[in-house]
Amino acid sequence: MKRLGSLAGAWITLLGLGLPATAQLPPDDGQWLRPAKDYASTRFSGLDQVHERNASQLKLAFSFSTGVVRGHEAAPIVAGGTMYIVGPYPNTLFALDLTKPGAPLKWTFDPKPDPSAKGVACCDLVNRGAAYADGRVFFNTLDNQTLAVDAATGKELWRAKLGEIKLGESMTMAPLVVKDKVLVGNSGGEFGVRGWLTALDAATGRIVWRAFSTGPDKDALIGPNFKPFYAQDRGADLGVSSWPPDAWKIGGGNAWGWISYDPALDLIYYGTGNPGPWNPEQRPGDNKWTSGVFARKPDTGEAIWYYQYSPHDLHDYDGVNEHVLIDANLAGQPRKLLVHPDRNGHVYLIDRTTGQVLSANAFVPVTTSSGVDLQTGRLRYNPDKEPRAGETIRNICPASPGGKDWQPSAWSPRTGLLYIPHQNLCQDAETSQVSYIAGTPFVGADIKMNPGPGGSRGLFTAWDPLTGKKAWSIAEHFPVWSGALATAGDVVFYGTMDGWFKAVSAKTGTLLWQYKTASGIIGQPIAYRGPDGNEYIAVLSGIGGWAGAVVAGNLDTRDGTAAGGFANAMKDLKAATTLGGMLYVFALPPAGVR
Amino acid sequence: MRAAALLSVLAVATALAACEREARRFETTVPSPGASAPESPRVGALQPATPQQGGVKLSTVSQGPYEGNAFAVNQGKRLFRWYNCNGCHAMGGGSIGPALMDDQWKYGSSSSAIFASIMQGRPEGMPSFGGHITDDQAWQIVAYVRSMSGQLRKDVEPSRGDTLSGGEPEVARKPEKPRPADPPPQPPVGSR
């Protein structure tokens, strides 16, 4: 890391936008077409009407109830004068007319998913958002359908059934549209579901390609152009040979997180989920290609490189967290980089052309490993924390949801900081043998989570990925399970599980403004320019997700192992928040009125 | 004299209960509904493993056979893990599925109601296990599920587990008063 230390002041700009290296930011079109805002997954808005000095004046402009009271993880989508919101199951899609006072409902689309899908949703009934492209809105339903809806009329254009709830499969992620393709992946890492990423023709919904995360090279779309950086990822059919016989067929690796795209390199980047079952003794081997990152060509799906964050994952450390694409000078050389805060507790800085890990520094207390060997690329596991069936292993840090789970961070090219919403949890765990019974959970671990060192279960951390160091951090009572938003006004937004929506200074973390919403916030805040020319900040409030399952599912926290062990760390959440499902949109006066 | 008679009656009753508590059976005491008994439809769209055609046969009695049998209750606790029930309901606190240790019963708390939930499945995700596990195993699981909210005698409920403890063991939990209260017993289905 030292060799990078002197470069802390290096200026940075976004790639993904195909711009020359310049400190000048591109003008923001004011829209928010996909949950991550841009292909580089920065969640950075170029709008600066709201800034550090006036953010305290933010007022509520309008609100809207989704009518569903489960975890709302989605980002609102804004295209033209319309806002699109997809709710948790039953995944109703709403269009709000932003050109009219109060943003009345324009249309509603009900995809009518199968209610039995609720039985295979590991972590509440969440959906992480829709995506807009070329007059169409795309989204997934919990029962494994991808739909395209006409953005103007709300009429269904096509739907594609891509998976089977009877095998424990579900879909919760937000699609990404790249060129003429809609990219989607499945969930089900707790049901022994074999993971995949699929490209659909945006016009018809026809499957163009499907890349599995386990199994033979032909299924993983690994061919002659596959050039992983590290030796352990080279060889024929490693997706078979790194597993016990046939275990790859039920081995997880689900692509339920985020996808980024670099148009210049023409590569997509996405992480793969945990291997199944959680009990690692039932699957000796590296379990490729789970808990890692793939770079693929979007047209064909063919793999270009892969890197495994957590080989033979021991603690449910999915690799699906966002990959933020940035360009920066390292040692005087302009580099195309990828920043990834992983569940295993490290922020990775990776050369996105080759897959070489340049640094991996811990952003939370970590007992399960002692960093990454930059020669071999391998995570150095701590054998003391390795699960052994029938034995309780204590003080596993980070806990299974990781140093950070799905909740996406934001990157500001103005400050050069990554704003990471995350948790600070450790756990005790005991693994046991589990039978694979299709359609039932395939886990084999009993877990009880606890607050990590320091006692605050949540943190909102500003991280300098080039120096690999924390700039500042805000301690929160509960895990910070919302996404983050950074703006050109140097204001950063996030929400808390007890319902506060907060604006803080991007430079110092100083609290500038906060608003108490009706329920806990686990949604992704966005910024857009309304038809009236004003900047608006929007977020969904509605407690749930894995961290909020004790409220969303009304679980009994006397059993600390409830909600996959999260209940033990969230015994006071029911007293802090109640069910909800509401959109809140804020602006400066006179657009913001209340 | 009366007191002595009462005492001896009590002693015999206790001895009988103790015998039942320890009894091992090779066959369930609940008569099998038989081939001619009517079938009820599966309610859940999901089934474990390979789906089977046809409906399921429900209980012919309202009271399960193992409510007083500690061995069977503990067998039920073991099967609850073997069949991955714990993957959704944890150790009673719930996860994907609802908590089973509290006082809330969406589909009824009686043994026949729980038997029906297991065998038929339920519309919002509970798989239909009818035909996939034996009636006897289902009754053992039913008895264990009732122990989770303290519905059984204290000398029958499990006092420890073999795994990481989720909280107080079943026997230490206070008996919950089920809500809503179960409807009065219906005439057994297919009774003879």
Residue A477, in any domain of the structure: yes
Task: Round to whole Å and give the CA distance between A512 and A52.
Answer: 7
Both tokens of A466, joined, read 């080039």
How would residue B7 be classed by pLDDT, with cut points 50, 70 and 90?
A: low
* Whole-number percent of chain B with pLDDT over 70: 79
**Closest CA of chain A from B52, distance in Å:** 12
Q: Do A561 and B90 touch (CB under 8 A)?
A: yes
Q: Which long-range contacts (CB under 8 A, 24 or more apart) does A430-433 make?
A: A430/A387, A430/A389, A430/A390, A430/A391, A430/A392, A430/A393, A430/B163, A430/B164, A431/A278, A431/A279, A431/A280, A431/A281, A431/A387, A431/A388, A431/A389, A431/A390, A432/A279, A432/A389, A432/A390, A432/B81, A432/B163, A433/A279, A433/A282, A433/A389
A-chain residues within 8 Å CB-CB of B82?
A: 435
Residue A397, in any domain of the structure: yes
Q: Peptide bond preceding A277: is omega within 30 degrees of 0, i.e. cis?
A: yes
**Helices then strands (H, E): number in chain A?**
4, 39
Q: Do B50 and A553 touch (CB under 8 A)?
A: no
Q: Do A115 and B163 touch (CB under 8 A)?
A: no
**Closest CA of chain B from A253, distance in Å:** 19
Helix (H) or strand (E) holding A586: strand A582-587
Residue A13, in any domain of the structure: yes
Q: Do A556 and B101 touch (CB under 8 A)?
A: yes
Q: Do A440 and B87 touch (CB under 8 A)?
A: yes
pLDDT of A260 reads 98
Q: Quick check: A154 contacting B, CB < 8 Å?
A: no
Number of inter-chain CB pairs under 8 A, A vs B: 143
DSSP for residue B106: T
How would residue B3 be classed by pLDDT, with cut points 50, 70 and 90?
A: low
Active-site annotation of A, residues: 190, 274, 316
Q: Do A440 and B163 touch (CB under 8 A)?
A: no
Task: Round to whole Å and give the CA distance between A122 and A187.
Answer: 9
Q: What range defines the domain where residue A503 resides? A: 2-43+68-587
A-chain residues within 8 Å CB-CB of B88?
A: 119, 440-441
Average pLDDT, chain B: 87
B86: closest chain A residue by CA: A441
Q: What is the dihedral of CA A369, A364, A553, A147, to 10 degrees?
A: -90
Give the DSSP letter string of A205-230: --EEEEEESSS-HHHHT--TT---SS
A-chain residues within 8 Å CB-CB of B99?
A: 554-556, 559, 562
Mean pLDDT in order along chain A per 10 residues (594 residues): 38 38 71 98 98 98 98 98 98 98 98 98 97 98 98 98 98 98 98 98 98 98 98 98 98 98 98 98 98 98 98 98 97 96 98 98 98 98 97 98 98 98 98 98 98 97 98 98 98 98 98 98 98 98 98 98 98 98 97 78
Contact A311, A386 (CB under 8 A): no
Q: Do A437 and B83 touch (CB under 8 A)?
A: yes
- Among A238, A123, A113, A288, smallest CA distance to A189 is for A123
A113: closest chain B residue by CA: B124
Residue A50, in any domain of the structure: no
Q: What Cα–Cα distance (Å) separates residue B135 from each residue in A19, A129, A553?
A: 67, 44, 29
B38-172, what's its fold?
Cytochrome Bc1 Complex; Chain D, domain 2 (1.10.760)
Q: What Cα–Cα distance (Å) separates residue A383 from each residue in A379, A388, A396?
A: 12, 10, 11
pLDDT of A56 reads 98
B148: closest chain A residue by CA: A559
Number of domains in chain A: 1
- Tell me the pLDDT tens digit for each residue of B81-120: 999 999 999 999 999 999 999 999 999 999 999 999 999 9
Task: Round to whole Å and give the CA distance between A496 and A501.
Answer: 7
Task: Round to whole Å and give the CA distance between A332 and A24.
Answer: 20
Of B92, B127, B167, the CB nearest to A439: B127
Task: Round to whole Å and give the CA distance between A78 and A94.
Answer: 12
Residue A231 has φ and ψ, to the nearest 5°, of -60, -35
**Closest CA of chain A from B42, distance in Å:** 13
Residue A53, in any domain of the structure: no
CATH of the domain at A127: 2.140.10.10
Residue A57, in any domain of the structure: no
- How do A535-541 and A44-45 pair as beta strands? unpaired
- Among B57, B35, B44, B60, smallest CA distance to B191 is for B60
**Closest CA of chain B from A568, distance in Å:** 8
DSSP for residue B176: P
A-chain residues within 8 Å CB-CB of B83?
A: 435, 437, 440
Angular region, A490: left φ>0, alpha ψ -120 to 50, beta rest: left
**Closest CA of chain B from A121, distance in Å:** 7
- 3-class secondary structure, A438: coil
Q: Quick check: A115 contacting B, CB < 8 Å?
A: yes
Both tokens of B5, joined, read 């008679």
Residue A52, in any domain of the structure: no
Residue A73, in any domain of the structure: yes
Beta partners for A139? A147
Task: Round to whole Å and give the CA distance between A383 and A162.
Answer: 39
Test the B interface: residue of A393, A561, A568 with most B CBs within 10 Å = A561
